[in-house]
Amino acid sequence: MKVTPDIIRYEFIGTQAKIAQSAHAGYLGLAGPVVAETKNTLTLIHQGQPKSVIKNLAVFDFKFGDGTVVEIDGTLLVGRSEDRLKKSVKRLW
């Protein structure tokens, strides 16, 4: 998978996610598949239990189907997934 700024336009439901950094200590270490997304949260299945994580408070490591792992700041993901398609992002690196 080619990693570009357009990565934030991808659909994250079904991908494996891990919380890499967070301002909320309870979020650190949460990992599992993403099962739902709202404007401000992602819901992961962690140890069989659904856990909602506020996007603004976390940095996520997403693992895609081809094995690519990408770290994305949750502030870039705030908004409905369908609205992210319209968002333009300047190159961050």
State residue 2's pLDDT score: 59
State residue 37's pLDDT score: 93
Superfamily of domain 5-79: Ribonuclease P/MRP, subunit p29 (2.30.30.210)
Bridge partners, residue 36, by sequence: 43
Cα–Cα dist 89/93, whole Å = 11
pLDDT range class, residue 10, cuts 50, 70, 90: confident
Cα–Cα dist 3/53, whole Å = 24
pLDDT digits (tens, 9 = 90+) for 36-74: 999 999 999 999 999 999 999 999 999 988 888 999 999
Helical H runs in 1-93? 81-84
Cα–Cα dist 89/21, whole Å = 22
